[in-house]
Structure 1
């Protein structure tokens, strides 16, 4: 056993090859990867069992026999850049992610890095990218060594989406923990061990973990980093909210736990719930509610809150000067009119409901249940004859608990966003009243015949969208109930034989819903999706659809915004999206809801840029409004409920003023583009941006005997002709056949977005680098890049010798009494110009390789210059070492700058300085090239 301590970044020789020691090694066991290998080639070396021992090694210098031209040098540089997974620059994580975040999405990350512990509420608008923002924080803190485990808490219908996002975009394998998966996971671990100890990253259903018996165990074993999605649903007074709040309160009471809260609606109209949400960041923030008189204290709390709360509307993103981030939303209203038998049926339903509302009120409980039944019948009858049939066949139970009544009421008024998946089931309307028998017969007759006026209007509109002369749209049609969705889907399949029509409802499990959306998205021609609100949250539809039709009017404006937000969001490639609202022109209930609720909400949303929740806690005002509408149906002399209408107006005005005030008080104003963009540009320079990825992929495929083929949208990348080794590695990543790709993010369908850490780029870069750094590789192979070269370039005016370098640094971070040592790698360059050997550094050197050669040089000149360049490396070894130390100091400055505390105190200063960077000796010389100036 060797007595040498091998720290991360050290090169060692063992088993007949050279390795780089990685973080995570111990005194007995080394975690290593081959110096010419990829991250996937990592292995463990147990030192006591190594017969030949392990000794320190040196990186092999370029061999003069491995000559190459400019194309090989450029490809070698890009392969080196794009193979970096532990890159330098201000951020550790960018080499590990396969999505290129926008600069504005770095604001929450920079805010988080300045906090200890991280307590952050991200309340950006729908579709801005809160998932990306939160996952960036998680990935960065992992790669900085600040945390080791994480958990995402979210509503059940979002669990699979989070698992997919973390794995697909952030290279994190998270385990889903739900009511259906928990027992299976627990069976695979020893008794007494928590699954949160076994699985470092989990995505957990809030509804599963909130119960008292599970909560205590979870709080005991919970990871040190927690993301809570839809956090506003955990602090109100609705069904199950108190259990969720108790869970989050227990998490927040651990002073060392990192907590990131996500919501697009931080203030849902309930002041108490809003301040409870803020109190999860710091209990003192709850004092904002009471500190109305003490202006000094209120301002102090607001100032502190500004470091923990970021909320931006889409208009706020404009200052980042990134065009085309979001599409233009074009809205339209379509009316349909019930005629003939449909009009007769709906009027009969209205008359029946009016009789119920005007009936005897001696039995309050029975009257309430009957009124709820009338609302259910009204909604279903307006939706479709099939929904009416099912409602009329379903009997409502009279023995309802207070919680069950509240849940029923929330469902009727579209108020409970927590149960969207189960919310599309038709509510019960039937009682013992024989008058309903005739209505049921009418509904069943209508359900089986043609001529539905509502169907005709939507069908004509879908045809119009599919055949739009400027842009053929792909619409999503949202229905309120399952039977309506199937009823509409069946009709559209007959009407649109050349289109692919799919129906997705809450009947399907989450995995099946996602699979059907993905399959429909692969359709080349016209595609139409009919769905219930089970898809208004949880599955992003912007990749495949760009129009939304509200077939059924919702009674909650937030529900409309949720639906439209599935397509009108970050990642939508269409420049415009359509949103169409349908309602019945002779449906007085639609008219009342439209005028008093929806249009008011839309006006405020357009003015403020964010949706404002309906000011009707408990739905009492809406109930009074609808009763008034029905009573007028019964008796035209009955006045509208003017008191309730006045209260609605007053409520909307108050809600608008609160929203304006909150925007003024809480909107993120600390970090501006000028604060963030320099860090963003440094990161891109360190790891390679979109242009480098595209150039490299095209040239690398060509080297391997393939190439990119331009398409109208994106490119084709054939893999069949690639070497077997490359095909096998791509196949392991699920990449086979001819790939449709694009280098923009997001990519226009049906292309896949390819970023720097996409498997295609990673495999090509690592393979080229492995073959080129292998000392026994065939130098005549086109996939072995020459590490030495010489050509004439107009990028220089003096003879310039350029060394392409890989620097290795140890970043040591102290947390409490424990030090974490991380390996950081950097691709850069150093050059010597002219007789005096003027030093050129970093990006200036790397850019010299961009200029195409003016001419090649004769073989004897190339060989002579190569020999002189290799000799120069030995003579200037001290300057290479000095440059490595210089870069280590710059890396430390970057690290400390982004960690500088948002507000300064003794603890913050100590934390900011608890890091050091040490350059490892003998930088790796990947290539050396001589650039000669043009003569004459």
Structure 2
């Protein structure tokens, strides 16, 4: 037999059973899956080593003894539909995803498929779903055979988040590559091997990989497809940022490498950084500022194919319901009184005095100023944070490293979130600090904190209104201070604290555990303000500490105000001290202006504050004013910064007008979306099948107020063991909606529960003989006959599994993919037109109106089985038509690849007849 007979999709017989040949086979070694088995049952056989010869096989026809009633026929239809992982339809990857994306989230996918190579900047607003959009592209390119390996580059604190998202939602199993894990991974490799060639899928810390030595190694072994999260940090100026830019620039040197960049803030107010970012898509885009006329229009048109940016209001045109909550904001003030006011004044006096005392000594100026800023931040946060900062002595080396301190004091870049909740060193050997330490420690241990009192009252109100809030603090000591003070304050409310002291796994586990509580309050530092989804368990944010960076506020609120938040309203509360001049200055000059710009523009514009000069000038003005010093020069600088910020906002507005994505409209996307759902099954199909399959196997779904309870222990032993290997035991709470109800797991078509149930029913129905399947409730049967009020003449429905070979010739490389499709063909008579696809499948849905007599049923089934043979040509023609439709779909959404290659689709005949059902008209 020639090698082509063993191409993907071929049926063979070996080891006493039938198998389907999968992608990854060669003439000597076959990668195979049982005809009735699942992806997990796949194995390899070496043809020359088999004791029995490998032979061509055909799929067995239904046996008239394999009787099925209406319920079993529906289960067989749905099990076949939901078991396919290499589905047809416009997209190859939808059979592998565990999320049902919204139609608007398909826009980046369709844009990517029209590019070759894929070079895309996704700049959607916070919470719209950029991770899902990037994951869809990765899954699709893998399943089309366009790529074999991928890497995600992201800030270190997002590595675990990306690993979890890819595994849970897209069935991609990456390896985390960080400073902590790289050495361990490299130890198991041969000297000449790279992590990135040995591990096909990786999630890589940008901080780990950006150094010159590691960058060179990564570029040498880099995968064909790279996702870059927080891409704006790779084009911005600042310490260490040029290394990131050089890394990405090196990636784009390859003319075939696919690159998808993600950011919610492409316009940082820095024109050079923005166009440097666009230049990573195509070097020509860096010329946009200098071009005019037709050349500029041409560049803008080209860029619109590579750049998608949408705000939440832009999603309204998709008419998919209310996808995002309404955010209600509120400001709360507290007034420091008594001992708290005296302590705060004493700290301000101390800070003003040492800044003034520095004189002309530049090093001492820097030392004193960093110390005062650190101390002011901690004192404004809590007495506990103040005490911790005062007790911590800063070394000269630490002060000299202003870059490191800058981020910790000033709420620096997003990639510093894991370690900047530690209180910065404020202490020196100054004897004047000893009295302040005593005061701070005394206040940390006593009641009456005015700031804490306001928080407690506000949380009481939020809880009474049914909200589950997250309280964000700046420092670890403050978070634990609040945890101690609030624990037990609210009846039947669970309070938990999460900080950067814990690993990302520990943080996630703690959040999930807290989510199991009926009512909850989470106290967290900014280690949770980015890359962690909290919308399933929380719906309000309280900023206990003002951030000096307005972007942090949006990041915090974006944890609950995002796609998947079920509450129609989320709340955000900003707390600040009425008699705290530092809070007042930051609020008026930075935060309110940032909010005003965002409201007017629709997108945030970061503060144009390179080196945090604005914040330093602002706080020096506060301290000098307290000491009675002149403010004129500082106020002039503040006015200059105000003008720079307005200029940055105007540029961002202009850029948004010029570059906002407007090419793909709902009418361009929705037809592809509906085709895909029909091909792989949607949420309603999953819910119907899961309930009926569990009932068939001895369990069932118990409806709850929201969601369902699924007892698994009563299932057959083999099913129980398979589910147990997937971590599903006992009685589990599930929901078919996304996001799921509280404490429920979200179950989609590729969830292990659905996969195991579908594969079990198919294996028992298709893989057992009639004798073996006797009295087996999991054997559904393959032939049936009933009376239906929906038909007016005798109708035969043949349930089919079609197998196609999709061959691509791209850049001199040929690949053959197996594509499978669950469909049906129906006919009423020799002259009547055929009923195909979705319409034929739908004929099985209506419940029977009666059960015909046994002899009528048996005769109808025998006649239908004979018709399968006489109409074999029509079945083959239908399979050929579906192959051509598949080719048309494939080409339509991947048109760019036609420029460097070609596609063809071959139907593998005969089609697999899974079931045969006769519907008889009702006789009145």
Both structures adopt the same fold (TM-score exceeding 0.5): yes
Rounded Cα–Cα distance in structure 1 between residues aligned with 2:370 and 2:497 = 29
TM-score of the two chains, using structure 1 as the length reference: 0.96
| Residue equivalent to 2:495 | 501
Rounded Cα–Cα distance in structure 2 between residues aligned with 1:498 and 1:928 = 57
Deviations 1:429-485 (A, max 9, x none): 2234332222222112211211111111111211222222xxx22111111011111
| Residue equivalent to 1:922 | 910
How far off its partner does 1:394 sit?
2.4
Rounded Cα–Cα distance in structure 2 between residues aligned with 1:735 and 1:606 = 46
Contact 1:5 1:27 in 2 (8 A): no
Cα gap change, 1:401 to 1:815, in 2 (>3 Å)? farther
Cα gap change, 1:601 to 1:793, in 2 (>3 Å)? same
Deviations 1:777-821 (A, max 9, x none): 424433211211111112222211111111110000111122100
| Residue equivalent to 2:114 | 114
Question: Does 2:429 match 1:435?
Answer: no
TM-score of the two chains, using structure 2 as the length reference: 0.97
Rounded Cα–Cα distance in structure 1 between residues aligned with 2:915 and 2:774 = 14
How far off its partner does 1:685 sit?
0.2
* Residue from 278, 296, 302 that aligns with 1:298: 296
Q: What's the RMSD between the two structures over aligned residues?
A: 1.7
Instruction: Return 5+ residue gaps in structure 1 as ranges.
Output: 902-907
How far off its partner does 1:360 sit?
5.3
More off after superposition, 805-814 vs 204-213:
204-213
How far off its partner does 1:5 sit?
3.4
Which SS does the other structure have where 1:289 is aligned? helix
More off after superposition, 688-697 vs 776-785:
776-785
Contact 2:370 2:399 in 1 (8 A): no
| Residue equivalent to 1:798 | 793
| Residue equivalent to 2:590 | 597
* Residue from 440, 445, 453 that aligns with 1:456: 453
After TM superposition, the structure 1 = structure 2 runs for residues 701-850 of structure 1, keeping only pairs within 5 Å, are 701-776=694-769, 777-834=772-829, 836-850=831-845
| Residue equivalent to 1:421 | 418
How far off its partner does 1:526 sit?
2.2
How far off its partner does 1:399 sit?
4.7
| Residue equivalent to 2:674 | 681
| Residue equivalent to 2:58 | 58
How far off its partner does 1:538 sit?
2.6
Which SS does the other structure have where 2:834 is aligned? strand
How far off its partner does 1:637 sit?
8.0
More off after superposition, 336-345 vs 527-536:
527-536
How far off its partner does 1:615 sit?
2.5
Contact 1:632 1:639 in 2 (8 A): no
Rounded Cα–Cα distance in structure 2 between residues aligned with 1:224 and 1:639 = 57
Cα gap change, 1:3 to 1:387, in 2 (>3 Å)? closer
After TM superposition, the structure 1 = structure 2 runs for residues 178-577 of structure 1, keeping only pairs within 5 Å, are 178-291=178-291, 294-359=292-357, 361-399=359-397, 404-468=401-465, 472-496=466-490, 498-523=492-517, 525-577=518-570
Which SS does the other structure have where 1:161 is aligned? helix
After TM superposition, the structure 1 = structure 2 runs for residues 658-669 of structure 1, keeping only pairs within 5 Å, are 658-669=651-662
Rounded Cα–Cα distance in structure 2 between residues aligned with 1:400 and 1:719 = 57
How far off its partner does 1:840 sit?
1.1
Contact 2:86 2:95 in 1 (8 A): yes
| Residue equivalent to 1:894 | 889
Rounded Cα–Cα distance in structure 1 between residues aligned with 2:75 and 2:696 = 10
Contact 2:63 2:782 in 1 (8 A): yes
| Residue equivalent to 1:693 | 686
Cα gap change, 1:731 to 1:400, in 2 (>3 Å)? closer
How far off its partner does 1:11 sit?
0.8
Rounded Cα–Cα distance in structure 1 between residues aligned with 2:79 and 2:801 = 12
Contact 2:358 2:368 in 1 (8 A): no
| Residue equivalent to 1:904 | none
Instruction: Return 5+ residue gaps in structure 2 as ranges.
Output: none
Contact 1:831 1:841 in 2 (8 A): yes
Rounded Cα–Cα distance in structure 2 between residues aligned with 1:910 and 1:660 = 36
How far off its partner does 1:351 sit?
1.9
Deviations 1:472-499 (A, max 9, x none): 2211111101111111111011423632
Contact 2:336 2:577 in 1 (8 A): yes
Which SS does the other structure have where 1:349 is aligned? helix
Contact 2:697 2:715 in 1 (8 A): yes
Number of aligned residue pairs: give it: 922
Cα gap change, 1:765 to 1:3, in 2 (>3 Å)? closer
Contact 1:2 1:47 in 2 (8 A): no
Rounded Cα–Cα distance in structure 1 between residues aligned with 2:354 and 2:581 = 17
More off after superposition, 181-190 vs 689-698:
181-190
Contact 1:616 1:651 in 2 (8 A): no
| Residue equivalent to 1:931 | 919
Cα gap change, 1:439 to 1:682, in 2 (>3 Å)? same
More off after superposition, 340-349 vs 831-840:
831-840
Rounded Cα–Cα distance in structure 2 between residues aligned with 1:419 and 1:354 = 29
Rounded Cα–Cα distance in structure 2 between residues aligned with 1:800 and 1:498 = 60
Contact 2:3 2:26 in 1 (8 A): no
Rounded Cα–Cα distance in structure 2 between residues aligned with 1:686 and 1:122 = 27
Contact 1:224 1:257 in 2 (8 A): yes
